[in-house]
Structure 1
Amino acid sequence: MPKLITWNIESARTPGGGADLDRVVATLTRFSHFDVLCLQEVACGYEARDGTPLGDQFAGLALRLPGYNLACCTALDTLAPDGSRRRLGSMIFSRYRILQVLRHSLPWPADPEAMSMPRSALEVTLQTPAGLLRVLSVHLEYFSLVGRMAQVERLRELHREAVQQARVLRPGGPEHGAFEALPRAAHAVLLGDFNMLPDSPEYTRLLAPFADGTPGLRDAWRLAQPGRRHAATVGLHDDNPDAGAPFTFDFAFVGAGLAERVGRMRVDAAETGSDHQALLLELG
């Protein structure tokens, strides 16, 4: 049974405001064995909240998780005051072979009412014992609803595109070089920090039926635990008296073809560093 974890690590944030990649790996090891790991807010060249340098967390995590195949992408790549580069993005680690990696820059519409920043989705096609699996690590806009809705539409377009490509036997072989016909799986899992609440307009839109009959997306939590409200993934350990009740921003969505394979789901409620909690999805 493949196990997939998604976690916004907030640049490996610790309770004291520093950063500790060893703590990230130890937390994951305590939480669960995993076959696929999707991490958001991996950083390079920034400072932690306490002012200490973060270093290159992409390289640091790769060293700490040997034996996994990995892919990464950056949503932010900017010039630092000292002339170096600052990057923020996502990583996917997989025990399965990664046949293809696609890095999607998501829409970033202008919104005079809210701060915003570039966002991305990292897509891999995995060769699993049960067949091809498309996994996307997603991190959507936080402040701007305009931006988040545009990004949800793009995720729907990407899903439709992938399903259509999976149905078509495209010409091309190894002898065609870059035009080699590489697979793009119809079965999909979208995991990550969506920065939206259950039953919000953007959540409802993401799961809406497709007009052309493309098999839609399903909320894995509601398949695994029907009738039970989503477990909170944000704010469980916030000691700010004005923070309000914990809530859900982190999800796993599956293509309709995987609905019957959704098994257990659970949240790691113990971690106290990142504001987000890791989320586990098991597929049969």
Structure 2
Amino acid sequence: MKMISWNIQWGRNAAGVVDLARTLSEARQIADFDLLTLQEVTRGFHSLPGGPGDDQFAELAAALPGFTVLEAIGADLPPLEAGGQRRQFGNALATRFPVEQVIRHALPWPADPGAPSMQRVALEAVLRTSSGPLRVIVTHLEYYSLKQRLAQVDALRQLQLEAADHAAHPAPAENSAGPFAATVRPISAIVSGDFNSAFGSEAYRRFIAPLEGAPSFIDAWTELHPGQTPPPTAGVFDLDQWSDGPITCDFVFVTEDLRDRLRRCVIDGATQASDHQPILLELA
């Protein structure tokens, strides 16, 4: 299984030009991916720099035949002009695997009056793979507020404990046609995205701390490159937005029970199609 995780900044490259088709072309050059988890995908946000199109989720679905494209909206704001589109900003997941279940989690948003912020979300999909069901989560944590980031990390860890409890105590379906479907949340998971937390930071360390009652998370890159520091994932080419210099803040974490299936994890440092660099993960 080949997966790419990428904060695509609504298809805006390091020079400030928005072209979502180019972004997908760059992803395809990295790998013939089976799974694509994206952050900063928009609908109705024409006012953002570069002027993204009306509905980037629809653009992704049209450009990826054979894939199921899922969305989760974090910020959902009114139009700037009467009769316009709502402005929506969130995450997308595109997969070739059959999708058993989709859960959209609004992440905690505790008040922090000293920092700009927005509602953040985690998109969870239970995929049917040849090795059994697998949970994949794509998320994007708060940038300005450490208080909110830490609360969101704690929530993601709690979701892992909740899924482990579902896996240990599955509920039956009420019937085959109704919404009370059988519980299929597996214990094994991938969590990917822009954590807005530097490698080794408090939020990073908290996320990978041991969990009691469920497999903990491990950083796929450091697991496959022991003793090394990962290369930067943001601010490599866009020096205007990242004037303090590049930072490593995008990660792909897997539950520790998937450790033996890790084959490759690469941070692509060449593409300039976003202000972030994509991460390729390969699982056996």
**TM tier, shorter chain?**
over 0.9
Q: 2:200 corresponds to which residue? A: 199
Q: 2:69 corresponds to which residue? A: 70
Q: 1:21 corresponds to which residue? A: 20
- Tell me the distance in 1 between the aligned counterparts of 2:188 and 2:196: 24
Q: 1:150 corresponds to which residue? A: 151
Question: How far is the alpha carbon of 1:13 from its aligned partner?
Answer: 0.3
Instruction: Trace 1:167-178 onto structure 2 (pairs within 5 A).
Output: 167-175=168-176, 177-178=178-179
- Tell me the distance in 2 between the aligned counterparts of 1:201 and 1:124: 27
Q: 1:30 corresponds to which residue? A: 29
Q: Which moved more, 1:113-122 or 1:163-172?
A: 163-172
Q: 2:279 corresponds to which residue? A: 279
Letter in 2 for 1:222: T
- Tell me the distance in 2 between the aligned counterparts of 1:202 and 1:13: 27
Instruction: Trace 1:27-106 onto structure 2 (pairs within 5 A).
Output: 27-47=26-46, 50=49, 52-83=51-82, 84-106=85-107
- Tell me the distance in 1 between the aligned counterparts of 2:27 and 2:263: 19
Q: 1:233 corresponds to which residue? A: 233
SS in 2 for 1:39: strand
SS in 2 for 1:260: helix
Question: How far is the alpha carbon of 1:53 from its aligned partner?
Answer: 5.0
Q: Deviations over 1:83-140 (max 9, x none)?
A: 3211111110111000000000001111022111110000000000111110000100
Q: 1:253 corresponds to which residue? A: 253
- Is the CA contact (8 Å cut-off) linking 2:57 and 2:69 kept in structure 1? no
Letter in 2 for 1:26: S
- Is the CA contact (8 Å cut-off) linking 1:19 and 1:48 kept in structure 2? no
Q: Which moved more, 1:119-128 or 1:232-241?
A: 232-241
SS in 1 for 2:39: strand
- Is the CA contact (8 Å cut-off) linking 1:13 and 1:48 kept in structure 2? no
Relative to structure 1, the CA distance from residue 3 to residue 246 in structure 2 (aligned partners, 3 Å threshold; closer, same or farther) is same
- Tell me the distance in 2 between the aligned counterparts of 1:238 and 1:15: 5
Letter in 1 for 2:38: L
Letter in 2 for 1:55: D
Q: 1:220 corresponds to which residue? A: 220
Relative to structure 1, the CA distance from residue 207 to residue 241 in structure 2 (aligned partners, 3 Å threshold; closer, same or farther) is closer
Q: Which moved more, 1:274-283 or 1:44-53?
A: 44-53
Question: How far is the alpha carbon of 1:49 from its aligned partner?
Answer: 5.0
Question: How far is the alpha carbon of 1:82 from its aligned partner?
Answer: 1.6
Question: How far is the alpha carbon of 1:50 from its aligned partner?
Answer: 4.8
Relative to structure 1, the CA distance from residue 185 to residue 32 in structure 2 (aligned partners, 3 Å threshold; closer, same or farther) is same
- Tell me the distance in 1 between the aligned counterparts of 2:64 and 2:221: 27
Letter in 2 for 1:274: S
- Is the CA contact (8 Å cut-off) linking 1:8 and 1:192 kept in structure 2? yes
SS in 2 for 1:135: strand
- Tell me the distance in 1 between the aligned counterparts of 2:241 and 2:108: 35
Q: Which moved more, 1:109-118 or 1:267-276?
A: 267-276
Question: How far is the alpha carbon of 1:179 from its aligned partner?
Answer: 1.5
Question: How far is the alpha carbon of 1:155 from its aligned partner?
Answer: 0.2
SS in 1 for 2:11: coil
Letter in 2 for 1:190: V
Relative to structure 1, the CA distance from residue 23 to residue 51 in structure 2 (aligned partners, 3 Å threshold; closer, same or farther) is closer
Q: 2:269 corresponds to which residue? A: 269
| TM score, norm. by length of structure 1 | 0.94
Letter in 2 for 1:259: R
Question: How far is the alpha carbon of 1:16 from its aligned partner?
Answer: 3.6
SS in 1 for 2:163: helix
- Tell me the distance in 2 between the aligned counterparts of 1:268 and 1:164: 36
2:135 aligned with 1:134: yes
Which structure 2 residue ranges, 5 or more long, are not aligned?
none
SS in 2 for 1:148: helix
- Is the CA contact (8 Å cut-off) linking 1:11 and 1:48 kept in structure 2? no
- Is the CA contact (8 Å cut-off) linking 1:233 and 1:248 kept in structure 2? yes
